[in-house]
Amino acid sequence: MAQKAKKKPAKMANRNIGTVEAVKDDGDKYAVVGANGKPVYPGGGIGLHEAARLATSLVDGGGLARVESDGTLTPGRLELATGTFEPVA
């Protein structure tokens, strides 16, 4: 009786090509804020990459704010050219 050929495992495509490296993690914590400036995501803050992803998917017109050490929020935006957070005055 002939033996069956061994099957190779399927190769999965890498779905995260270029997304993680585009946003630089600076170690600060960020919040997703709504149009009124109030946080819409609970907790003490999340990384910049995750905040940018959630701001575009959770809230229509959502934005980003850096969580300062005293708990205040500094509104800003993600600079796509450099992948960094830029405060907005």
The domain total for the chain is 1
User: For 45-82, b where at least 16 C-beta lie within 10 A, e where not — what string?
Assistant: bbebbebbebbeeeeeebbbbbbeeeeebbebebeeee
Give a yes or no: residue 16 inside a domain.
Answer: no
Say what the pLDDT of residue 6 is: 79
Query: Does residue 42 fall inside a structural domain?
Result: yes
Over residues 62-88, the pLDDT tens digits come to 789 999 999 899 999 888 888 889 998
The answer to whether position 64 is within a domain reads yes
Task: State the CB neighbour count (10 A cutoff) for residue 30.
Answer: 26
The residue segments making up the domain with residue 61 are 25-82
Return the pLDDT at 15: 56
Position with higher pLDDT, 22 vs 56: 56
The pLDDT score that the predictor gives to residue 68 is 92
